[in-house]
Amino acid sequence: MSGVSAADRARIPKRGRSRLMWAAAGLVIALAGPALAQDGTGAVPDHAEPQRYGGGWVCALGYRVSDAACVAIAMPENAYATGRSYGSGWACRRGYEDVRGTACVAIPLPEHAFLRASGYDWQCERGYRQEREACVPIALPDNAYLTDDPSGTGWTCERGFTASSGACVPIAVPENGYLTNADYGDAWACERGFFEIAGRCDPVALPENAFLDPVSYGPGWRCERGFEPVDNTCVRIDLPENAHLEQSGNRWRCDRGFQRAGEACVLGR
């Protein structure tokens, strides 16, 4: 603590000494502040321009501050100035890659390849796929067509065919069935009014007072509202007093304030 003798410090309480130390540190930072802010102030040197906002100046693109001057950034061939104050101050142009921060070399393009939009990588042309550092022709099987997906095989089977061991084989669709065109899952499904069993499409046996239900599980039908399924038939629901049909319409429940007792609704306790 500058300006305070050892005897005086001994008489200052510990908490007071701590506050005095922080105050002294703050004074040192405040005095050092102007020295740290000297870069970009004063007379505008060559290759610099005034700040757009506030005072001071900044170096032109391709230059960086050194003491009170702007010196040129050493850039390799096929590089451009980034204008950033950190890092090397340059980056490689499109189609070139940085080599150890000293040079920009052209990205090698194999035959039948082109630069991606980013300019930092390449992609094979349509009809070719990447194999290490080369583009090789895609072997297109019969009944297939090329896709734009650079990964995988690069092809997919036409409608009515499915991929198997590098070939496109016909999909066996049973009578009363149709192709789903799904990339995953079942390749075919049964027409409305039929259900799948043992690889075929059998007709749905629709009982009286029922309608076809397209869900993949169940018998393929549902009872009309006010009927309930009993042994593959639809039986009319005998609705007791103080009861109502559920949302499905195929069950019933007691009204509010009543509880079920067998096939009746009684007042709850």
pLDDT tens digits along 169-202: 999 999 999 999 887 888 899 999 998 889 999 9
Instruction: Let me know whether 219 and 252 are in one domain.
Output: yes
Instruction: Let me know whether 212 and 197 are in one domain.
Output: no
pLDDT for 256 beyond 80 = yes
Tell me whether residue 22 is in a domain: yes
- Of 183, 203, 223, the last residue of a domain is 203
Tell me whether residue 63 is in a domain: no
Model pTM above 0.75: no
pLDDT tens digits along 7-60: 444 444 444 444 434 344 443 333 333 322 234 678 899 999 888 887 888 888
Rounded CA separation 84/97 (Å): 19
Q: One-letter amino acid identity for 154?
A: G
Instruction: Let me know whether 224 and 258 are in one domain.
Output: yes
Instruction: Let me know whether 216 and 199 are in one domain.
Output: no
Instruction: Let me know whether 233 and 186 are in one domain.
Output: no
Closest listed residue to residue 176, CA positions, set 160, 197, 162: 197
Tell me whether residue 14 is in a domain: yes
**What's the domain range around 191?**
173-203
List, in order, residues 6 or more apart from 195 with CB less than 8 Å away. Answer: 201, 202, 204, 219, 220
Q: One-letter amino acid identity for 203?
A: P
Tell me whether residue 95 is in a domain: no
Tell me whether residue 10 is in a domain: yes
What pLDDT score does 247 carry? 92
Number of domains in the chain: 3
Instruction: Let me know whether 241 and 265 are in one domain.
Output: yes
What pLDDT score does 13 carry? 44
